[in-house]
Amino acid sequence: MEIGNVEMDETNNNITLIVGYPASGKTMFSKSFEDIGYHRLNRDDIGGKLDDLVDHLERLYKEKGINKFVMDNTYAQSNQRKTVIEWAKAHNFEIDCKWINLDIGDALYNAAKRMIDNYGKLLMPDEIKRSKDKSIYPPVVIYKIKKNFMLRIFLILRNLKGGMLFIDDIWKFTDVGF
């Protein structure tokens, strides 16, 4: 089965993390994985913390035999991915990452459009907090996430100069760009 330019082996256990800015199209892209039999896990839909998703992985794998997962969360920092990666290693899962390389301006536009579509206006920061809508982000949050991603990319490039490349140990990293 092929997604983008990546051939997926249907016999192996696999977790694919869809990573990118808020409102970059992660959920839309993850639908293509669902179409070929992957089970989608997203904290916004399930609730709780990112670490709680591992409990869902465990239950679905052991109780239902599901062995292909797509997880579309921002994952801006490596510590946010750590528990999923550790679980994948412990259960002999391949894990890879698809980076949605959308321009920050486009992500901001999408976030504003989502807000207007859902609420009929651009919300003020206090209104966003009161809404408790996990799909709505003020611009300052998106820029903060951009800073985290850019720091990670800087560290990867710095390690490359030294002849080493570590991306959370076992990632296959693919830029899917829009």
pLDDT in tens, 10-23: 468 999 988 888 88
Read off the tokens for 67: 């062995």
pLDDT at residue number 139: 67
**pLDDT digit string, tens, across residues 86-144:** 899 999 999 888 888 788 888 888 888 888 999 999 888 888 888 888 777 766 666 66
Work out the burial of residue 82: count CB atoms within 10 Å of its CB; fewer than 13 is exposed, 13-18 middle, 19 or more buried: middle
Contact 18, 72 (CB under 8 A): yes
CB atoms within 10 A of CB 157: 10
pTM of the model: 0.71
Q: For residue 135, what pLDDT is reported? A: 77
- Domain range annotation of the chain: 13-102+168-175, 104-161
Q: What pLDDT does 36 receive?
A: 93
Q: Please determine, looking at this structure, whether the domain spanning 13-102+168-175 carries the CATH number 3.40.50.300.
A: yes
